[in-house]
Structure 1
Amino acid sequence: MKNEIHLKTASLAAAILAVVMTVLGLGMTALPANAAALTDAEVTLRTESVVSSQWDKVDLTCEWSVPDNSQPGDTFSIQLPPELRWFGVTSFDLQNPDGQTVATATANDSGLVVFTLTDFVAEHPLNVGGTCSFSTQYSVDPGDGETKELSFTVGSSVVRVPVVVEPCTSECGPSIPTSAGKAMWWVDPAQTVLESIFYMPPMPSGTNDVVVTDTPAAGMEIDCSQVTPRVGRVLNDDGNIAEPYDNERYPVILDCTPQRLTATWTGLPRGEHAELYVVTRVTDTALDVYENSGTVSIAGQETPVGAQTRRSSGSGTGNGTPTPSATPTATATPSPSATPTPTPTPTPTLTETPTPTPSPSTATATATPTPTPSPSTTTAAPSASPEPTSSTTSPVLVVPTEIPSEPVAEKPVAEEPTEALATTGARGTAFVFVAAALLAVGSLLAFVGARWSGRRSH
């Protein structure tokens, strides 16, 4: 009875262990190779932009390369310096001339740009590299005119890029507009929100009615909750209306929908300034250019105005070289020089022997008097009888006891890999085989237990 219990317990344990090993093996076969951060990737950066004031755009270009045999999913990164903030779309592809994506780039709010290699490098593991270009904004006051170095962190190294700072030297004070106009710019680095301003010259008459209309083009909608009218006589350093405002003295009437805005002032006095700020939101992110048009009417004189803003986007290129295919070697058909010399079993040949009469037990030619085969000879053949060198010797035909076999070319031995391969989950197959073996053991133990139980019951 105890043996029966032990056999059942052992078979149950073996079956459970087999199931566990099978699950582990199948799980490991599905594990991909581990991605790595390529700290030794090479990146060079440069810019030709000139900075004059805060929020000026700084366009950058780069050249990049990664070590040979880098794997899909491997990454390298560029960290922007604190003087710059990312400006434009937050992701873009780096493609080869055939349109295949070699790597993708993604930027976050902190200015970290991560480049991730695609499956392209699995078939093109050599000479992987390319270019990139993207836009940033100079986020601090540049100060006095000079060349400044910006420090970018690339992997484990620092890349320093000089940028030219040229402050304004003429007409730098507030400019008073002489005609109506419109300007528009991006509000956020991701370029999803635009803001525009309608500006006007000082009111020309003693009393002036002003009507402003704004009509965004396709791909944009007016945010009616963010329309800001201003009236006043004081201008700031940028030439815009500053406090104290006269908004309460001359209130505006707004009529706003996502597709059209109308702002109306009545009775603005001579010398008064009026402005209108309008926020629009992007509804179609696929456009490269966004346009906003409208009109400004002052004392019955209407002026068409408009603004256009382009989307700043990143781009890049990449390419790689496939691994050269192995050149077939001539191992299958051995060359004459590679044919082994049949010294152990020489072919029949006429040789000279210093003994006039051969010994009856002689089965092979003596190594010393036997001529060495020529390197170009592939199969040995009997040679002509040589002239005797001595009058006391005579040629003797020595016949070997065994028929020589043709030489067999040795198969090349595969070299052991010198580098560790990436983890691909191939070990899971071994787990499956072990699990199958354990399952078989458990079944055998269960069968023996059943037979033992049957005998005991009788």
Structure 2
Amino acid sequence: MSLALPARAAEIPGAVKTVTVTPDNPGRYDEITVDATWAVPDTAQPGDTFSLTLPAELDSLVSGFEIRNSAGELVANAVVQNGVVTFTLTDFVSTHKNVSGTAKLTTKLNRELEPGKPYALTFGNEAEVTITPGEGRPVDRTSSQKYGFWIDANGDPSSTPTDRIRWTVESPKGAFDRISFEDTVGTGMELECGSVGMNLSETFRANDEVQTWGPALARDVEFTASCAGQTLTASRPVESSADAPAVPEGQVLRLVYDTKVIDASASSYKNTALVTVDGTTKSVVTDFRRSTASGDGQGDEDSHTTPPVVPPTTEPPVTTAAPLTTSVPVEPSTSAATTQEELANTGANGLLVPAVAGGLAVLAGAGMLLMRRRSH
């Protein structure tokens, strides 16, 4: 007897049908949206997968999300790893046919992309979308700027969420003599004081965004930094070189530091920095949001059911034996009838017929023996 093994999960080719990116020409730091549609054949089984390969030009993608129908039923689970979104079907496909849906991811372009240069965003074999990043909005260099981005274990920018965020606070353009920063880290993070650094700008883009930064300044020599709980303070120049300008004419000073994420469920992380330039203090607030992803699915409920197999029930044949009757000629007499009636009353009526037949047989045998003796 052989047992049927469960079907192995299979990759479904061509399940992703369309991919679109909006806007067509986003700024370098604008949020963009990737929309995809998908459909699986009716032969799909729970555990089967299909995938969408994302281009390397996209950053800050989520690590996973769920796809549910309007009733809240789980249709598929999606996991984002190494730039590939893998969708795993659930038991929903066992009870539905014509299963299809959508997926939506919000993200940003990689910071290394050059404005004005066209890029072909290739989504595996499913689609190719060409975009041309714009310069982005002009940067107001009379005010301070602040932003954050994910970094990996080596401190390099990461295209997917990690447990580290690198924060940057940029000063207004110089020249000015002194500058100090007081930055308070919000909830869901821990400040890593040893990561604090500073450097000066070298070149700018057309929209006044810094294009290249100079070498790192020496801590405790060219700037000072200290931490108390969740608050970082830093200043330039140091007391021993108070006569040196903090920021030369037409340049920007950058403060950078890292935080460790302790609440991965938070949708955003907020920081507030106070920047004091030559005695004037202004605040700058940043709300660093996680990218989001979602999707929906639907299908026609499969009403076809196979009736259970019921084994036939056959009643065994009933055999009725015919009654055995013996006919014995008996002369009617009043005494015989009386005797049978009496036997019936005593329960001996069943023995009367055999007894009479046996008596007649004995008499016949005796008669035959007497006739033989006379003949001799």
Is TM (by shorter chain) over 0.5? yes
Larger radius of gyration: 2
**1:195–1:136 CA distance, 2 compared to 1 (3 A):** same
Residue 326 of structure 1: how far off its partner (Å): 5.9
Q: 8 Å contact 1:212–1:296 — kept in the other structure? A: yes
* Partner residue of 2:62 out of 78, 89, 105: 89
Residue 263 of structure 1: how far off its partner (Å): 0.9
What SS class does the counterpart of residue 86 from structure 2 fall into? strand
Q: 8 Å contact 1:224–1:257 — kept in the other structure? A: no
Q: Which deviates further from its counterpart, 290-299 or 46-55? A: 46-55
**One-letter code of the match for 2:87?**
F
Residue 300 of structure 1: how far off its partner (Å): 2.4
**One-letter code of the match for 2:147?**
A
Asked if 1:189 corresponds to 2:162, the answer is no
Asked if 1:269 corresponds to 2:245, the answer is yes
Q: Which deviates further from its counterpart, 244-253 or 35-44? A: 244-253
Residue 308 of structure 1: how far off its partner (Å): 1.0
| Deviation readout 1:282-308 (Å, 9 max, x if unpaired) | 211111121111211223222122111
**1:51–1:74 CA distance, 2 compared to 1 (3 A):** same
* Partner residue of 1:213 out of 175, 182, 186: 182
Q: 8 Å contact 1:49–1:163 — kept in the other structure? A: no
Residue 43 of structure 1: how far off its partner (Å): 2.2
What SS class does the counterpart of residue 306 from structure 1 fall into? strand
Q: Counterpart of 1:286?
A: 265
Counterparts of residues 103-114 of structure 1 (less than 5 Å): 103-109=76-82, 111-114=83-86
**1:50–1:281 CA distance, 2 compared to 1 (3 A):** farther
Q: 8 Å contact 1:220–1:283 — kept in the other structure? A: yes
Instruction: State how many pairs are aligned.
Output: 288
Q: 8 Å contact 1:212–1:264 — kept in the other structure? A: yes
Q: Counterpart of 1:402?
A: none
Q: 8 Å contact 1:52–1:142 — kept in the other structure? A: no
**One-letter code of the match for 1:312?**
S
| Deviation readout 1:74-132 (Å, 9 max, x if unpaired) | 11111224x534632211110111222100111211x22211101122222x0111110
Question: How far apart are the structure 1 equivalents of 2:264 and 2:136?
Answer: 38
Q: 8 Å contact 1:211–1:297 — kept in the other structure? A: yes
What SS class does the counterpart of residue 47 from structure 1 fall into? strand
TM-score, normalisation: structure 1: 0.55
Q: Counterpart of 2:282?
A: 303
Asked if 1:98 corresponds to 2:71, the answer is yes
Q: Counterpart of 1:152?
A: 123
What SS class does the counterpart of residue 129 from structure 2 fall into? strand
Q: Counterpart of 2:317?
A: none
What SS class does the counterpart of residue 102 from structure 1 fall into? strand
What SS class does the counterpart of residue 243 from structure 1 fall into? strand
TM-score, normalisation: structure 2: 0.66
Q: Counterpart of 2:223?
A: 252
Counterparts of residues 12-91 of structure 1 (less than 5 Å): 31-51=5-25, 58-81=32-55, 83-85=56-58, 87-91=60-64
Question: How far apart are the structure 1 equivalents of 2:6 and 2:36?
Answer: 31
**RMSD over aligned Cα atoms:** 3.3
RCO (CA 8 Å, sep 6+): is it higher in 1 or 2? 1
What SS class does the counterpart of residue 273 from structure 2 fall into? strand
The structure where strand makes up a greater share of residues is 2
Q: Counterpart of 1:127?
A: 98
Unaligned runs of 5+ in 2: 152-157, 308-376
Q: 8 Å contact 2:147–2:167 — kept in the other structure? A: yes
**1:236–1:292 CA distance, 2 compared to 1 (3 A):** same
**1:127–1:311 CA distance, 2 compared to 1 (3 A):** same
Asked if 1:223 corresponds to 2:192, the answer is yes
Q: Counterpart of 1:356?
A: none
Matched-pair identity in %: 29
